[in-house]
Structure 1
Amino acid sequence: MKKLILIRHAKSSWEFNLDDHERPLKSRGITDANLVSKELAYHLKTIDLVICSDAQRTKLTAEIFISNLGIDKNLVKFNADLYDFSGENLVQVIKNVQDSISNLMVFGHNHAITAFVNTFGTKYIDNVPTSGVVIIEFDIENWSALKPGKTLKSLFPRDLK
């Protein structure tokens, strides 16, 4: 069995004239990421690997979650392929994870996150919001054999306020 914890980056700021890749988080994004990650702590036992898009907003979101969940920073890998909006790269990154990893956490972007959870999960979600978390369990031994699994949990900021 494999477990995937997918997290969409927190609300980002358009306040500064920056390249999309470099946009920071809004204060609401920081608040929501703290809220969701603290709740997520009640639902997670272990994380074997964290893979994060190398965009600034996903890195900052990951820092908040990693801190609040007590995840070892040595388990974090940044991957430019996760700066993906269609979802094709997201699927490929997950399929390439080593089979020794059972509990995988991935920080990414929409539309890729929503498309993935609706393709591989059992619960239709119209739109995974910023700071949203979806946990899917797969009855597979190898990530390369990725096939639809079962949506175990979704945590969205609006449900915790």
Structure 2
Amino acid sequence: MKNLILVRHGKSSWDYNVGDRDRPLLEKGINDVHLVASKFSNQDIVIERVFSSPANRALHTCMIFLRTLKFPFSKFQVENTLYDFSGDGVSSFVKNLPQDINNVMIFGHNNAFTNLVNTWGDQYIENVTTSGLVHLSFKVDSWSDISKGSIRQVLFPKQLR
């Protein structure tokens, strides 16, 4: 069985004259990420590897999760392919993950995550919100074989406030 946890970055700021990859999180985004990460840390799920888009807002979101989960940084990696908004890059990345890894967490962006959740999940989610987490599970032995799975958990900040 393969488990994929997708986490969309926290709410970011458009107030700075920086490129898209460098946009920072807003304070509200930081607070929402802490809220979701804390709730998720109470789950009995052992994450084996964590990957993040190189965008500042995704990396900051990821760092908050890693610290909250006390996850070893040696099992974390930045992946340029995850700076993707359609879902094609993320899908390709996931389908090429090593077979000996079963539980993966990925930090990235919309519309990619909403598209993938609705392609791979068994229920429709209109929008994976900022700081939103969706846990998908697939009854396959190989990442390359994933198609339809089941949504195990959805954590959106609005539900937790």
Q: In the alignment, residue 13 of structure 1 is paired with which amino acid?
A: S
- Matched residue, 1:87: 87
- The unaligned stretches of length 5 or more in structure 1 are none
CA drift of 1:45 comes to: 2.4
Q: Deviations over 1:77-124 (max 9, x none)?
A: 111111100000010010111001110000010000000000000121
Q: What is the TM-score of this pair, normalised by structure 1?
A: 0.98
Q: In the alignment, residue 57 of structure 1 is paired with which amino acid?
A: R
- The unaligned stretches of length 5 or more in structure 2 are none
- Matched residue, 1:139: 139
- Matched residue, 2:41: 41
2:28, 2:44 → 1: CA distance?
A: 24
Instruction: For residue 158 of structure 1, give the secondary structure of its aligned residue in structure 2.
Output: helix
What is the aligned length? Answer: 161
Which 4+ residue blocks in structure 1 deviate beyond 2 angstroms?
A: none
2:3, 2:78 → 1: CA distance?
A: 19
Q: What is the TM-score of this pair, normalised by structure 2?
A: 0.98
- Matched residue, 1:51: 51
CA drift of 1:5 comes to: 0.5
Identical positions, percent: 42
Q: Does 1:99 align with 2:116?
A: no
Q: CA RMSD in A?
A: 0.7
- Matched residue, 1:15: 15
1:44, 1:3 → 2: CA distance?
A: 13
- Matched residue, 1:127: 127
Instruction: For residue 36 of structure 2, give the secondary structure of its aligned residue in structure 1.
Output: helix
- Matched residue, 2:61: 61
